[in-house]
Chain A
Amino acid sequence: DAGITQSPRHKVTETGTPVTLRCHQTENHRYMYWYRQDPGHGLRLIHYSYGVKDTDKGEVSDGYSVSRSKTEDFLLTLESATSSQTSVYFCAISLSGRSFGTEAFFGQGTRLTVV
């Protein structure tokens, strides 16, 4: 199994509070992604990173920010959580953007509930 660890695995937070989810990898993969999964929407890309301090927006980036100060860590921050951000969040890693056939490996997911 790819070495990807998401923390926390479960979190309940109140509306308006900041929340940070962490993705840690031991594979030295260049690309890291954050997705959210909601019923009827599949997995939607929030942000991704193609290197240390190099990040870009995905499909649903509003209300989220990310940081990657080290190859192994990719942080997702909800600056002020809202109920619409209740979801399951997945982190994924991938070796290289030059090789289309390189699959992404996923973490176990973080279930976030905003009350």
Chain B
Amino acid sequence: AQKITQTQPGMFVQEKEAVTLDCTYDTSDPSYGLFWYKQPSSGEMIFLIYQGSYDQQNATEGRYSLNFQKARKSANLVISASQLGDSAMYFCAMREGLSYNTDKLIFGTGTRLQVFP
């Protein structure tokens, strides 16, 4: 079963507008962490933001915020004031389990965001 689902293969947004990238996850573990990574065309993976399952507030990092809805098992990434440099592939990922050895970081299939002037 897919643990991380990103239903938007591609998204377009105009520069300076906000955009939301969707991510839903599946876990029965009460303890887990959710991550977003950016992959520009150059190929490197860049960590953007993290949300823990017990965090009371939504995570924010500059123009990035994570809209965490625990009951719906969603962790959408919101990018405010989009810039041309935000054009990239975005991946949602999850780490679950408290077991010492269970540190699998599982990724979704990604959303390609294109920002146009």
Q: Are B95 and A106 in contact (CB under 8 A)?
A: no
B-chain residues with CB within 8 Å of residue A50 when the two chains form the complex: 100-101, 103
Complex CA–CA separation, A43 to B6 (angstroms): 12
**Closest residue of A by beta carbon distance from B103:** A97
Segment at the interface with B among A54-62, A65-73, A78-86: A54-62
Majority secondary structure, A binding face? strand
Number of residues of chain B lying within 8 A (CB) of chain A? 29
Number of residues of chain A lying within 8 A (CB) of chain B? 30
Mask: chain A, 99-114; 1 = CB below 8 Å from B; 0 = not: 0110111101100000
Q: Are B102 and A97 in contact (CB under 8 A)?
A: yes
A-chain residues with CB within 8 Å of residue B47 when the two chains form the complex: 103-105
B25 close to A (CB within 8 Å): no
Q: Are A101 and B52 in contact (CB under 8 A)?
A: yes
Nearest CB in chain A: distance from B61 CB, A? 11
Q: Are B35 and A42 in contact (CB under 8 A)?
A: no
Q: Are A42 and B31 in contact (CB under 8 A)?
A: no
Which 5 A-B pairs have CB atoms at the shortest separation, nearest pair first? A100-B33, A97-B103, A106-B45, A42-B109, A43-B107
Question: Which A residues form the contact surface with B (CB < 8 A)?
Answer: 31, 33, 35, 40-45, 48, 50, 54, 56, 58-59, 88, 90, 92, 94, 96-98, 100-101, 103-106, 108-109
